[in-house]
Chains A and B, each alone.
Chain A
Amino acid sequence: MVDREAVAEMVRNIKKQALEERDMLINALHQIQNRFGNYIPVEAAKVVAEELNVAESKVYEVLTFYTMFSTKPRGKYVIRVCVNLPCHVTGGRQIVETLKETLGVDFDQTTKDGLFTLERTSCLGLCGVAPVIMVNDEYYGDLTPKKVKEIIESLRARGDAK
Chain B
Amino acid sequence: MKPILVLVSVDSNSVLLGAKQFANYLREALEKYNLKDSVDVLETGSMGVYTQGVVMAVFPDDVYYSVRSVADVEKIVSEHLLKGRPVLSLEIPRERLKLVVEKEKVTEEVRIVLRNVGVIDPRSIDQYIARDGYFALHKALFEMKPEQVIQTIKESGLRGRGGAGFPTGLKWEFTAKAQADQKYVVCNADEGEPGTFKDRLIMEGDPHSVIEAMIICGYAVGATKGYIYIRGEYYGSVENIQKAIKDAYEYGFLGKNILGSGFSFDLTVRLGAGAYVCGEETALLESIEGKSGRPRLKPPYPPTNGLFGKPTVINNVETFANVPQIILNGANWFKQFGTKGSPGTKVFSLVGNVVRRGIVEVPMGVTVRELIYKFGGGLVGGKQLYMVQTGGTAGTFIGLDKIDVPLHYESFRDHGVSIGSGVILAMDEDVCPVDVALNTMEFFEHESCGKCTPCREGTRLAVEILRRMSKGQGKKEDIDTLKQIAIITQEASLCGLGQSINVPLISILDNFRDEFLAHIGATGCPRGVCKFEKPAKVKAKV
Within 8 A of B (CB), among A118-156: 120-130, 132, 134, 137, 139-142
Closest approach, in angstroms, between the C-beta of A93 and any C-beta of chain B? 9
With both beta carbons as reference points, the residue of chain B lying nearest to A25 in the complex is identified as B290
Q: Which of B272, B357, B393 contacts A130 (CB 8 A)?
A: B357
In the bound complex, CA of A33 to CA of B331 (Å): 47
Asked whether any CB of chain B lies closer than 8 Å to the CB of A2, the reply is no
B419-442, CB under 8 A of A: which get 1 and which 0? Answer: 000010101000100001001101
Let me know if A126 and B287 touch, CB within 8 A.
Answer: no
- The CB with the most chain B CB atoms within 10 A, among A66, A67, A121, is that of A66
Residues of B within 8 A of A127 (CB): 194-197, 349, 351-352, 357
Within 8 A of B (CB), among A52-104: 52, 54, 58, 61-62, 65-69, 83-86, 88-90
Let me know if B427 and A89 touch, CB within 8 A.
Answer: yes
Let me know if B290 and A125 touch, CB within 8 A.
Answer: no
Asked whether any CB of chain A lies closer than 8 Å to the CB of B69, the reply is no
Q: Which of A30, A69, A122 contacts B194 (CB 8 A)?
A: A122
Let me know if A85 and B13 touch, CB within 8 A.
Answer: no
Interface size on B, residues (CB 8 A): 62
Asked whether any CB of chain A lies closer than 8 Å to the CB of B322, the reply is no
Asked whether any CB of chain A lies closer than 8 Å to the CB of B118, the reply is no
Interface of B is mostly: mixed
In the bound complex, CA of A141 to CA of B18 (Å): 10
In the bound complex, CA of A25 to CA of B442 (Å): 30
B266-287, CB under 8 A of A: which get 1 and which 0? Answer: 1010111111100000000001
Closest approach, in angstroms, between the C-beta of B201 and any C-beta of chain A? 9
Residues of A within 8 A of B353 (CB): 89-90
Interface-located stretch among B168-176, B227-235, B253-261, B479-487: B227-235
Let me know if B425 and A128 touch, CB within 8 A.
Answer: no
Asked whether any CB of chain B lies closer than 8 Å to the CB of A22, the reply is yes
Within 8 A of A (CB), among B164-203: 191-197, 199-200
Residues of A within 8 A of B443 (CB): 83-85, 122
Given that A19-B227, A85-B439 are known contacts, is A125 also in contact with B274, CB under 8 Å in the complex?
no
Interface residues on A, range: 35 or more
Asked whether any CB of chain A lies closer than 8 Å to the CB of B225, the reply is yes
Let me know if B431 and A89 touch, CB within 8 A.
Answer: yes
Asked whether any CB of chain B lies closer than 8 Å to the CB of A50, the reply is no
Asked whether any CB of chain A lies closer than 8 Å to the CB of B293, the reply is yes
Asked whether any CB of chain A lies closer than 8 Å to the CB of B447, the reply is yes
In the bound complex, CA of A57 to CA of B46 (Å): 43
Given that A65-B292, A129-B17, A139-B15 are known contacts, is A30 also in contact with B232, CB under 8 Å in the complex?
yes
Let me know if B233 and A124 touch, CB within 8 A.
Answer: yes
Residues of B within 8 A of A30 (CB): 232, 271, 273
Let me know if A126 and B12 touch, CB within 8 A.
Answer: yes
Given that A90-B352, A130-B357, A142-B52 are known contacts, is A66 also in contact with B292, CB under 8 Å in the complex?
yes
With both beta carbons as reference points, the residue of chain B lying nearest to A140 in the complex is identified as B16
Asked whether any CB of chain B lies closer than 8 Å to the CB of A27, the reply is yes
- Pull 18 A–B residue pairs with CB atoms less than 8 Å apart, ordered by A: A19-B225, A19-B268, A25-B291, A66-B272, A66-B274, A67-B273, A69-B273, A84-B393, A84-B443, A85-B436, A85-B440, A86-B425, A123-B195, A125-B199, A126-B12, A127-B196, A137-B235, A142-B17
Interface residues of B (CB under 8 A from A): 12-13, 15-17, 46, 50, 52, 191-197, 199-200, 225, 227, 231-235, 266, 268, 270-276, 287-293, 308, 349, 351-353, 357-359, 389, 393, 423, 425, 427, 431, 436, 439-440, 442-443, 446-447, 449
Interface residues of A (CB under 8 A from B): 17, 19-20, 22-27, 29-30, 52, 54, 58, 61-62, 65-69, 83-86, 88-90, 120-130, 132, 134, 137, 139-142
